[in-house]
Amino acid sequence: MSRFLSERFEKLCAYVPGEQPKDMEYIKLNTNESPYPPSPEVLRAVDENLLSGLRLYSDPECRRLREAIAKENGVSLENVFLGNGSDEVLSFIFMAYCDNKTGVSYPDISYGFYSVYSDLYGLSKNEVPLREDFSIDPRDYMNLGSTVVIANPNAPTGLCLSLEDIEKIAKSNPHNLVAIDEAYVDFGGDSGIELTKSCDNLLVVRTFSKSRSLAGARLGFAIGNPELIADLEKLRYSTNPFNVNSLSLAVGLAALEGKDYYDRIIYDIIQARECAAQKMREMGFDLTESRGNFLFAKHANLSGIELYLGLKSRGILVRHFKKPRIDDYIRITVGTPRQMDVMLCALKEMLTI
């Protein structure tokens, strides 16, 4: 840290992304990326024409992609906000709707960026403990009078709240914004997008990173009522109106044309998840009922760090969180059936020595 850094960032702890080591070829099951490439439409979308268009600024309105997202989700253009990954969308939400008076509430075990953004923007944070079984108690979020952010399915537990509960949370906090982060919803959750039509304080946040195999393109969006979208646009135009580059805009549009392809790979990932979960239960693992593209598991005979290191030494990267209550667990991204078999073999070996 230099002596010039503003005092308000001195204590800020930055988000730590999953490791991307280059010392060898790992089977990478640590950052919830898709094991499958983007759709054939996406692979064809990047041509010379698109590349020569890079001399121009990207469309600051992101109009074509926002229209396509609106159509796919049964809403209108003015209900869609596009960002450079949903991380950026979330950043604008924390910037826009939380201050020290309202504060922000989110589960104590959830996506790590919520606490980072709270600190970045100097917000008072209310980290609400999950229940013993890691589920969210919806009553904890009713009549809170603070901004609420909930991942549904939650990460890294994979557990879902019902739409009835989301609706109750939104309706009981009419003077506060409620944001639902649906990064994993395509793998088995129910989307709250319909609810945004009757709850004017509800924003649903989505990403192309996980189910659309486009983590590197950085595309995320929020859906909500037009006044909320206008708030976010105001902040976006005050930060970087060209936040989504033209290659990503084209690639995102192409991805929305590949519905059959994506339906199939999502189906395959869900099958691989259920198959691996069952085999791990047979080996004595304790797993949550994950509705994401990952498993969250612990074993009585090996600690979380032992599981993580044992897999890493066998060429398989998973995520371990050094955090109270979950440091016995590892989070395993669901890969191809072949990758899952290799991972299961490694676990079996670790448990027999």
Ligand X SMILES: *Cc1c(COP(=O)(O)O)cnc(C)c1O
Binding site for ligand X (CB under 6 A): 32, 85-87, 111, 151, 155, 181, 183, 207, 209, 215, 220
Q: Which is nearer to ligand X, 26 or 221 (CB)?
A: 221
Q: Which is nearer to ligand X, 212 or 299 (CB)?
A: 212
User: What's the burial of 173, exposed, middle or buried (CB within 10 Å: 0-12/13-18/19+)?
Assistant: buried
Nearest residue (beta carbon) to ligand X: 85
Q: Which is nearer to ligand X, 209 or 339 (CB)?
A: 209
Compute the least distance from the CB of residue 106 to ligand X, in Å: 11
Compute the least distance from the CB of residue 282 to ligand X, in Å: 28
Residue 185 to residues 95, 141, 152, Cα–Cα distance (Å): 24, 20, 7
Q: Which is nearer to ligand X, 218 or 299 (CB)?
A: 218
Compute the least distance from the CB of residue 83 to ligand X, in Å: 8
Reduce the DSSP state of residue 37 to 3 states and report it. Answer: coil
β-strand pairing of 294-299 with 220-223 = unpaired
DSSP state of 140: G
CB 178 within 8 A of CB 170: yes
Compute the least distance from the CB of residue 220 to ligand X, in Å: 4
- Give the relative orientation of helices 85-97 and 113-120 as an angle to the nearest 10 degrees: 40
Compute the least distance from the CB of residue 215 to ligand X, in Å: 5
Exposure string of 310-338, with b = 16+ CB inside 10 Å and e = fewer, is: bbbebebbbbbbeeeebebbbbbbbbbee
Compute the least distance from the CB of residue 214 to ligand X, in Å: 9
Q: Which is nearer to ligand X, 251 or 346 (CB)?
A: 251
Distance CA 144, CA 142 (A): 5
Residue 37 to residues 104, 268, 272, 332, Cα–Cα distance (Å): 36, 13, 17, 19
Q: Which is nearer to ligand X, 31 or 201 (CB)?
A: 31
